[in-house]
Amino acid sequence: MTSRAEYCVVACADAWRGNGEVLASPMGTVPALGARLAKRTFSPDLLLTDGEAMLVDADGRPEGWLPYRQHLTMVTGGRRHVMMGAGQLDRFGNQNISCIGDWERPARQLLGVRGAPVNTLNNPTSYWVPKHSPRVFVEKVDMVCGVGYDRAAAAGPSATRYHRIPRVVSNLGVFDFATPDHRMRLVSLHPGVTVGEVRDATGFALALPDEVAYTREPTGEELRLIREVLDPRGLRDREVPA
């Protein structure tokens, strides 16, 4: 039986499908497993780091050097697909990891904008939300760090030129922005999740398909890799409890 965390790993892995020779930058346990799974199966050309400054192959052996200054060039050169986290995310894909409340005097200070502004304008940026709730999926984010479709359009052609948010993966399902006005849309539910559950956990009206699809099953080989090779200690279940 496939666990919820395993559906999430596969849904994250699929974000990097067909990406070719680009750096996969996962933030979080499940996205990291997804990136490594994609590299070992359908996207062998992906580049991965060891979390510090080394590029490593599928077995973790060094194959290159990527200090922060070169990592930032990978971003602005567009040869990267990052999957970031989000403290808040709105219907157009604006993301906040800076602070909750008024920026001048925040109720809760978070990380800061980090690289979200440069990421979103330069390389494909997907998001991972391990706990889908109306506190994360909000009507309006308090501080736009990662730029969404509406804000990119308003900022002009330099902002939209390389802007793309391929997908959002949460513990409940997969979402994208492939609607006429780039509002977030439900792509698939993880098996066991209902549309009502997602609707209740989302603070804005999601675009819903006529017929609801389900996140695909992992192949037997993918499950074996996840369980025996990539995550034998089961860290994925800590991020997404069964």
Q: Where on the chain is the footprint of other proteins (CB under 8 A)?
A: 52-54, 65, 67-69, 72, 75-76, 98-99, 103-118, 120-122, 143-147, 151-152, 154-159, 161-162
Give the rounded distance of the alpha carbon of 150 from its chain centre: 19
Residue 221 burial (10 A CB sphere; 0-12, 13-18, 19+): exposed
* In the complex, minimum distance from the CB of residue 4 to other proteins, in angstroms, rounded to a whole number: 23
Residue with smaller CB distance to other proteins, 223 or 235: 235
Q: What is the DSSP letter of 226?
A: I
Residue with smaller CB distance to other proteins, 58 or 153: 153
* In the complex, minimum distance from the CB of residue 140 to other proteins, in angstroms, rounded to a whole number: 11
Q: Residue 151 pairs with which residues in a beta bridge?
A: none
* In the complex, minimum distance from the CB of residue 132 to other proteins, in angstroms, rounded to a whole number: 20
Phi, psi of 63 (to 5 degrees): -130, -5
Residue with smaller CB distance to other proteins, 79 or 227: 79
Angle of the 4-15 helix axis to the 29-40 helix axis, nearest 10: 60
Residue with smaller CB distance to other proteins, 113 or 212: 113
Place of tokens 């990406």: 19
* In the complex, minimum distance from the CB of residue 76 to other proteins, in angstroms, rounded to a whole number: 6
* In the complex, minimum distance from the CB of residue 166 to other proteins, in angstroms, rounded to a whole number: 18
Residue with smaller CB distance to other proteins, 163 or 167: 163
Which pair of structure tokens corresponds to residue 7?
């559906």
Round to whole Å and give the CA distance between 120 and 108: 24
